[in-house]
Structure 1
Amino acid sequence: MEEIRFCPEHGFYRGEKCGCGERGELILSKERVEKLGRFVSGLLRHFPDKFGLNMDENGWVNLESLARVVRRRYRWANIWIIKALVYSDEKQRYELRDDKIRARYGHSVDVELNDMPEADEDLLYYGTSEEEAQRMMEIGIKPVNQKFVHLSTTIEKSREVASLRTDTPIVLEVDAKKAREEGIRIIKANELIALAREIPAKYIRKQIIFNQYSSS
């Protein structure tokens, strides 16, 4: 976890220096970034009702309402600090629009995300373990503890995700174009992540296997 700083020219960023070389003003320490990130992620993905937040079908909650909940737990946090968390996040976990905020992906609560754009990639990828890959080739890719399957737009990203869970990553190639043509809804969460309720096995074209010596 990296600290959040503010560059007068380029805005919020994470790490010790901005891309321009400027060592900006410290906004949040690493410890506070982790605490705030975990809590905001939980509010927007898993337990909005627990804290009285009204979430619509597309995952949006009122930013001021969320800020009040966050402030009750962390007195040092406010809307500006929450915006710093969002704007500095290279993984694009969150989205701000007018007076609302939402998580782009990772929901375990029921959401539809109907206002997200359709993914237009012909191929998408899903990183998994060697043990799970064969089962998915037979029954398809289904979400576990979340409402959507998270697909990657690049082989590299899917391999990176799989490598967090296994030493023998397998990447499944998904025929997203055919899936869409046959009625499977696939939406674009951000540049690297697409979402679907599930991917039936017939749209999985092949396995891409990496070994421990592979550098590609």
Structure 2
Amino acid sequence: MRPGRGGIPSPPRPAVVDNGAVDDRALVRLSKRMSLALRHQPGKFGLAPDRAGWVTVADLLAALRIDRADLDAVVAGNDKQRFAVERGADGVDRIRASQGHSIPVDLQLEPTAPPERLYHGTGAAALDSIRATGLHRGGRHHVHLSPDVATARRVGARRSGAVVVLTVDASAMARDGHVFYRSANGVWLTDAVPPAYLVA
């Protein structure tokens, strides 16, 4: 966000303009800022998520200096459904990231039996390391796995270079005691994938 007069940050460019059209580039920028605020650095925006990662929609709108139309456009237009909005018993709308947090958060997901196969998209440059040591969560709470090849390929395409889709023998992992969770947007989560479960 560029500083405005007197050092006050200028409001971000609207993702939804007056005629209702959507500015796709502005939408992507806003989605990234929402991810930063809800997944990684809420304190930077003056936000204090609850233990399950929720903040009020009103607080997020004020923190990011956006309007509800922009927020709704990001939530509805994101093909991975990265954000969830719910109205509580108190009538207040709240929002959180569906997964991918680096801050402490309890998404309150129940262990779920996975399908026989799951998939992970990544850059070809990482393949040798993954084959040797498996998939690790890094700074996140879990390894993220996709339910189908097409979704995994889209995820992997966010990285530079050629995309590789790895097949995970999820049913064998579950039989051996590895625990899986399924987030609200259909992403499968587990602590790690040892290399023995990567299908050649």
Q: Structure with the greater relative contact order (CA < 8 A, sep ≥ 6): 1 or 2?
A: 2
How far has the Cα of 1:55 moved from its partner? 1.6
Counterpart AA for 2:42: P
Query: For the structure 1 residues 32 and 167, does the alpha-carbon distance in structure 2 shift closer, same or farther, using more than 3 Å as the test?
Result: closer
Structure 1 partner of 2:7: none
Q: Relative to total residues, which structure has the larger strand share, 1 or 2?
A: 1
Distance, in Å, in 1 between the alignment partners of 2:125 and 2:25 is 36
- Alignment partner for residue 83 of structure 1, among 52, 59, 72? 72
Structure 1 partner of 2:107: 113
Query: For the structure 1 residues 136 and 113, does the alpha-carbon distance in structure 2 shift closer, same or farther, using more than 3 Å as the test?
Result: same
Distance, in Å, in 2 between the alignment partners of 1:113 and 1:100 is 14
Matches within 5 A, 1:34-73: 34-71=28-65
Structure 2 partner of 1:135: 129
How far has the Cα of 1:151 moved from its partner? 1.1
Asked if the contact 1:116/1:189 (under 8 Å) is kept, the reply is no
Structure 1 partner of 2:187: 193
How far has the Cα of 1:108 moved from its partner? 2.0
Distance, in Å, in 1 between the alignment partners of 2:20 and 2:110 is 33
How far has the Cα of 1:95 moved from its partner? 0.5
Structure 2 partner of 1:16: none
Counterpart AA for 2:82: R
Structure 2 partner of 1:209: none
Counterpart AA for 1:81: D
How far has the Cα of 1:162 moved from its partner? 2.7
How far has the Cα of 1:82 moved from its partner? 1.5
TM-score by length of 1: 0.70
How far has the Cα of 1:178 moved from its partner? 2.5
Structure 2 partner of 1:30: 24
> Structure 2 stretches of 5 or more lacking a match?
1-14, 88-92
- Alignment partner for residue 149 of structure 1, among 109, 127, 143? 143
1:97-156 C-alpha deviation (Å, 9 max, x unpaired): 112111112322222322367363221011233442232233220023433222111122
Alpha-carbon RMSD across the aligned residues, in angstroms, is 2.8
Which secondary structure state, in structure 2, belongs to the residue aligned with residue 26 of structure 1?
coil
